[in-house]
Amino acid sequence: MACERRNAFFPRRAAAMLAAAGVAVAAAGGVAGAREKGGGPTVVVSIAPIHSLAAMAMAGVAEPRLLLPRGASPHGYALKPSDARALSRADLVIWVGPQLESFLVKPFAALVAPENVLALVTAPGVATRPARHGGAWEDEAEAGPAAHPHDHRGHEPGEAGIDPHVWLDPVNGAAMVEAIAAALARLDAGNAGRYRANARRAVRRIKDLGAALGARLATVRPIPYIVFHDAYAYFEARYRLRAVGSVVVGSDRRPGIKRVTEIRARLRRTGAVCVFAEPQFSPAIAATVVEGTGARIGVLDPLGVGLAPGPDLYGSLLTRLATSLVGCLSGPSARPAP
């Protein structure tokens, strides 16, 4: 999508567009990117895992700006005036796509030229999956990474039905680093060689990590578990893990009594060993679900909450997911005898 049609820096949107978005910005200095000052391009990235991939690609040139602060969810974030200013000044804005960061759709229309936006959900080499529905799924553990592939290229980026958590498959992570480096090389030809070399190093690191995680997760592959919300299908498919449902249906909904009753019944029916909470949500919900069942509580985090932003976050995020899964699923059984 972004940066594919021109090898140049595009003019920033006028101050009137900022005003149209409800953000007052002084015209002076509001349209100058770092490139005009002799530095690298000004790059803004939506969420921490994608920011980490961009930081790998930009190493030695410049540092990308992370839009969402630690702990913020892309499902319901509200832009601040400083965020809008950063978007309006950016030479390149990188996001997953409207399926995840829907809060950016209107600001992009007002503040950012389409040529300045890179949507990774449609990037070359990034395989997407259809979103699952209902919070209770058939066992896909034996189907593997290509269980339900979906080539999103050629479709409108706003099309519904795509699971947007693409970064949790390290194969996608490697493809996204390459897409980011390619966009930067077109934008900043003087540093093109460095971006491509950075991408090659990053891809090797990600592939090595992916193989190591596969070996580590093999021992817990057949063990059923329940996640808090359906954010991990790419990781599950890549490593043939056995998630059998989610506590909430939709990341912005809190489960009611009926939903808790349903998921408790599914927990017993499937023999799920663990229910995984998330740091962004109250652990009391998971505690209510497992009460009296003998299942354990673990924590999974798809965004890297608590990790320092930067090039190391992506690998640490995937490693922490594997550590949490192995730790909870391979612990001594606490389930009552049937």
* Whether the model pTM is above 0.85: no
What integer pLDDT is reported at residue 23 of this predicted model? 37
Least confident of 30-34, 76-80, 101-105: 30-34
Annotate 134-199 with DSSP letters as a single string: TTB----TTT-TTSS-B--TTS-TT-S-EE--GGGSHHHHHHHHHHHHHHHHHH-GGGHHHHHHHH
Helices 170-187 and 313-329: crossing angle, nearest 10°? 170
Contact 120, 50 (CB under 8 A): yes
* Model confidence pLDDT, tens digit, residues 226-247: 999 899 999 999 999 999 999 8
Flag whether pLDDT at 4 surpasses 50. Answer: no
Tell me the C-alpha to C-alpha distance, in Å, between residue 318 and each of 89, 221, 302, 328: 32, 16, 8, 16
Domains 15-211 and 221-329 share a fold: yes
Q: Which residue has the higher pLDDT, 157 or 122?
A: 122
Sign of CA dihedral 99, 101, 104, 106: positive
**Cα gap 50→94, rounded to integer Å:** 8
pLDDT band at 135 (very low <50, low <70, confident <90, very high): low
Residue with tokens 């998630």: 243
What integer pLDDT is reported at residue 146 of this predicted model? 40
* Model confidence pLDDT, tens digit, residues 256-277: 788 888 888 899 899 999 999 9
Q: What CATH number matches the domain at 15-211, 3.40.50.1980, 3.40.50.150, 3.90.1720.10, 2.60.120.10?
A: 3.40.50.1980
Helix (H, G, I), strand (E, B) or coil at 25: coil
Dihedral (C-alpha) 66, 70, 76, 77: value to the nearest 10 degrees? -50
**Cα gap 5→209, rounded to integer Å:** 34
Flag whether pLDDT at 8 surpasses 60. Answer: no
* Pairing mode of beta strands 129-130, 296-299: unpaired
Other CB atoms within 10 Å distance of the CB of residue 200: 13
pLDDT band at 77 (very low <50, low <70, confident <90, very high): confident
Radius of gyration over every alpha carbon of the chain, rounded to an integer in angstroms: 21
Annotate 269-296 with DSSP letters as a single string: HHT--EEEE-TTS-HHHHHHHHTTT--E
**Cα gap 11→113, rounded to integer Å:** 8
Flag whether pLDDT at 64 surpasses 60. Answer: yes
Least confident of 205-219, 266-280, 281-295: 281-295
Task: Kindly state the average pLDDT of the residues 81-93.
Answer: 95
Phi first, then psi: give them for residue 185, nearest 5 degrees.
Answer: -65, -40
Flag whether pLDDT at 166 surpasses 70. Answer: yes
Flag whether pLDDT at 10 surpasses 90. Answer: no
What integer pLDDT is reported at residue 152 of this predicted model? 37
Helix (H, G, I), strand (E, B) or coil at 117: strand
Kindly report the average pLDDT of the chain as a whole number: 82
Task: Kindly state the average pLDDT of the residues 118-132.
Answer: 95
Percent of the residues in the chain that have a pLDDT greater than 70, as a whole number: 78
* Model confidence pLDDT, tens digit, residues 175-214: 999 999 999 999 999 999 999 999 999 999 999 999 999 9
Flag whether pLDDT at 224 surpasses 70. Answer: yes
Tell me the C-alpha to C-alpha distance, in Å, between residue 12 and each of 30, 88, 199: 9, 6, 28
What integer pLDDT is reported at residue 286 of this predicted model? 87
Flag whether pLDDT at 75 surpasses 80. Answer: no
Joined tokens for residue 89: 């000044």
Helices 48-58 and 170-187: crossing angle, nearest 10°? 50
* Pairing mode of beta strands 43-45, 92-95: parallel
* Model confidence pLDDT, tens digit, residues 141-161: 434 444 444 433 333 333 458
What integer pLDDT is reported at residue 332 of this predicted model? 65
Domain boundaries, the chain: 15-211, 221-329
Q: Which residue has the higher pLDDT, 245 or 70?
A: 245
What is the CATH code for 221-329? 3.40.50.1980
List, in sequence order, every residue forming a beta bridge with 118; answer none if it has no partner. 94
